[in-house]
Structure 1
Amino acid sequence: MDSTRRITALEAVPEESTFVFRVVDTDDDANEVEEAILVRQDGRLECWLNYCQHFTHIKLDKGTGAAMRNGEIICENHGAYFEADSGVCTFGPCEGAYLTALEVAVDDGDVYLTDEGYDLLGPGPIPTDEVDRASSSNVEF
């Protein structure tokens, strides 16, 4: 595998939370930086863009791992639940919507971005000096 597309070691992806990293959409002329999350559960690994389908400016993982319960990722702003393995919203204001998937692969204990539509920028959230005031309230229900 291409070492420039290595996201992290598989063992660094928590079982009951998420691992956040940065990508850039190569199909987008604006080359906007986005965040993606890895979810590892029951031997499976999935990758989703890091935003709620209700309001896409709300992140599921705010930099310390997304909340999870019974195999579902929880949007702490809206109370939406997303199945970690399929990305479908099973409860909340965006019920029936799907998280946006990115392709990843595991090779020799490491996780690689294999989605040709994105370039890997590195681990961690997008650095920002701004305070995300919306991320800790439920006023957007």
Structure 2
Amino acid sequence: MPDMPEQIRVCESAALEDGGLGVRFQVEVRGRLVSAFVVRYAGEVHGYLNQCAHVPMEMDWQEGQFFESSGLYLMCATHGAIYEPDTGRCVGGPCRGSHLSKLEIAERDGAVWWQPDALFRAPAPAPAPTPSA
């Protein structure tokens, strides 16, 4: 069995309120950086790639605003697609029946953690700045 990469801390648990703002972070997918997010719904934390299942565009209205006004569904700001926050299944709009790409998320010790895998990898660390001469 190959070594699993270590979990990556995304945010403090307190940063996520039920049906409230999400927290964005970066993942690497097939060699390119892609935005991802975590939200809290019905007391549980869920994470997805920040890409609508209709057309892969970022979903949030403004930074971290993924829920529609009732706080019951995730909504794509561009296409109006509506998703169940706990499953990522599209229940309304142009991609009905499709799913958001779900990430493996855990919550422990007052923090939210993401488990990279073979498809969704941790971004490479940024190179250290070189001192100017």
TM-score w.r.t. structure 2 length?
0.77
TM-score (norm 1): 0.73
Q: Where does residue 88 of structure 2 map in the other structure?
A: 87
The structure with the greater share of residues assigned to helix is 1
Aligned-pair CA distance for 1:63 = 2.0
* Residue 23 (structure 2) pairs with residue 24 (structure 1): no
Deviation for aligned residue 1:121: 6.9
Aligned counterparts of 2:50 and 2:90: Cα–Cα separation in 1? 14
Deviation track 1:8-58 (CA, whole Å, cap 9, x = no partner) reads: 101112322321111113xx2xx20011110101211110100111111x2
The answer to whether the 8 A contact 1:22-1:121 is kept is no
Match runs of 1:1-141 below 5 Å: 5-17=8-20, 18-25=22-29, 28=30, 31-56=31-56, 58-61=57-60, 62-68=62-68, 69-117=70-118, 118-119=121-122
Instruction: Classify the secondary structure of the residue corresponding to 2:14.
Output: helix
CA contact (8 A) 1:23 1:121 kept: no
Q: Would you say how many aligned residue pairs link Structure 1 and Structure 2?
A: 115
* Residue ranges of structure 2 left out of the alignment (5+ in a row): 1-5, 126-133
Structure 1, unaligned runs of 5 or more = 123-141
- Give the letter for the 1:60 counterpart: M
Stretches of 4+ aligned residues off by more than 3 angstroms: none
Percent identical pairs in the alignment equals 28
Determine the C-alpha separation between the residues in 2 that align with 1:14 and 1:32: 30
RMSD, aligned CA: 2.0
Which structure has the larger Rg? 2
